[in-house]
Amino acid sequence: MTADTPKKNIVIIGGSCVAIAAALEAKKTLPSTHRVIIIEKHSHFHYMFAFPRACVIEGWENELFAPYTKLFDSHPGKGQVIQALATNITKTHVEIDRPIEGFGTSIEYEYLIYATGARHPEPGNLNDHDTKTGAVQKLKEVQAKIQKATKILLIGGGAVGLELATEIREHFPEKEVTLVHSRDRYMPSYKMRMHNKTVEILAEFGVREIRGDRVVIPEGGFKDDFKMIKVATRDGKEIESDLQILCTGMTPQSDLLSKLSPQSINPKNRLVLTKPSLQIVDDTFPNIFSAGDVADLEDVKTGGAAWRQGIVCMNNIIKLIDSPQTTSTGLTQHSPMPPQIMLYFGLAQGVAQLKIFFIMICTAWNFLLRRFFSYNIGAARAWAWLGTPMTKETTDK
């Protein structure tokens, strides 16, 4: 390869944990013939793990949005992050919504990682806010709503709903918080002890629970007018509240790939079907991989699981670059990550299921968990991943 030979592109659609893990792996081992191009519509990485707390506590929102600009600075030529929205995928190119210097509106790829993730309701996800300024403003708006409300209804008892409920009660104990969860059990993918300890802590915080029932959401959704209304459940209960926050489910963002390869989309859940190598199931496209929340994998959908999947994708692409005839079975086979998670219930409590020394433990021992605690839920690690130190100067930009 000469200096004038253009590098071939490994394009990643989506700039979250899959992309960052794959990029960091590429910086170590990617041949000089190739580079990584990440297409991400957000200007900054969203550290959404801390959004529930940032919806309640003011003054540190800037720390949750780390810039992509220096991700490849330590390895020039290895890659680039492009702020744009992917609008179409062909057999050879990804089309984007704006012209980018050196690419125009179409980026050629030799390999593609489809990691578009899933949409979640705000404020657990801020997918529609492409700039840091807009995302921070949204968090501040939610803070103001919570401060103004007196009776708050949280709909959905996943990680976001649970953490938000305890944060509100810890910092605004005068406010009434009701949490409605459609299942009888919290966090059903984890050990029963997670559920039991969660119930204990919710009771300690004074969160009113309704489990095994669903809220009837009015046509057009709830109005943010702070009028006290009675919200019905399917079982006939009525909940009085002046603020309603959705913390429910996810919608896979698989539409782009479905146009190129309809057979790679599970019609039951709209997730992307993959082989154990994380190549999509469509044999027409052995150069296309998928991972993260958009992929139909056994893993519980967490940042940690997505990170591991990103590494598998990149390692397999590097193998194919070295040996293009390698079959799917000759590549690294993804194995599901044992379910692991940490839930932060206020500033000093939590529950976790962790793998420590090959042993899976589920604990609410605060003396053990406290070493993982920080007011920003470890946001500094995202800045480190992206090559920018987290300081007052950098976070204020």
Q: Looking at residues 77-89, what average pLDDT do you find?
A: 97
What DSSP assignment string belongs to 256-295? HHHHH-GGGB-TTT-PBPB-TTSBBS-TT-TTEEE-GGGB
Pairing of strands 349-356, 359-363: antiparallel
Could you tell me the pTM of the whole model? Answer: 0.95
Does the pLDDT at position 130 exceed 80? yes
pLDDT band at 357 (very low <50, low <70, confident <90, very high): low
- The pLDDT assigned to 354 comes to 85
Two structure tokens written together for 226: 């702070």
Does the pLDDT at position 98 exceed 70? yes
Tens of pLDDT along 152-201? 999 999 999 999 999 999 999 999 999 999 999 999 999 999 999 999 99
- The pLDDT assigned to 306 comes to 98
- The pLDDT assigned to 397 comes to 85
- The pLDDT assigned to 371 comes to 67
Does the pLDDT at position 360 exceed 80? no
In whole angstroms, what is the distance from residue 276 CA to residue 206 CA?
45
Tens of pLDDT along 218-270? 999 999 899 999 999 999 999 999 999 999 989 999 999 999 999 999 999 99
Amino acid, single-letter form, for residue 302: T
In whole angstroms, what is the distance from residue 260 CA to residue 283 CA?
13
Q: Looking at residues 344-350, what average pLDDT do you find?
A: 89
- The pLDDT assigned to 99 comes to 98
Question: Which phi and psi (to 5°) does residue 243 adopt?
Answer: -150, 130
Does the pLDDT at position 23 exceed 60? yes
From the list 115, 81, 87, the residue with the least C-alpha distance to 100 is: 81
How confident is the prediction for the chain on average, in pLDDT? Answer: 95
Two structure tokens written together for 362: 């589920």
Two structure tokens written together for 62: 């800037």
Amino acid, single-letter form, for residue 124: G
CA 20 vs CA 7, 17, 39, 175, 307: distances in Å: 20, 5, 12, 39, 8
For the chain, give the percent of residues with pLDDT over 70.
95
Residue 84 CB partners (closer than 8 Å, separation 6+): 39, 40, 41, 96, 97, 98, 100
